[in-house]
Structure 1
Amino acid sequence: MHSADNNKYRDIGVGSTVVGFLIGVFIPSEWVLGWFIVGFVLAYAIANFAAHAISRVLHDHEVWRRNL
């Protein structure tokens, strides 16, 4: 269950990276590599943060439900 969630968020990160790359393609070529790197790092950081935050919230919710 947990690893399936992580895969979903990794897919979100990959999707963000692809979107960033596509945006980069429409920017003058000398900027593409810079935008691609920035987009990749941002997408990775955001996806990582979201995965951790969501799994933390879900875990806290499980604990809270169990304690009811």
Structure 2
Amino acid sequence: MASITYGKSTDGKVTVQLRDGKSHKFDEVVLTTPLGWLQKNKSVAFNPPLPPSLTTAIDAISYGSLEKVTQ
């Protein structure tokens, strides 16, 4: 995936642009990425850019430590 364009199409579709130049249109898109990738690419992966409230929230997320509970 190279970029996601949303909110600009008259048909209400979301366009996903691939790195090979191909693009596909969808009614909805669910994007799952590693947190580090999202934090590094949030400003270039979405067109229009995500609103400040979302980018601030993405930047505020950090990795936590997990503990295994055993009995």
TM-score by shorter chain over 0.5 = no
TM-score normalised to the size of structure 2? Answer: 0.30
Higher helix share: 1
Higher strand share: 2
TM-score normalised to the size of structure 1? Answer: 0.31
RCO (CA 8 Å, sep 6+): is it higher in 1 or 2?
1
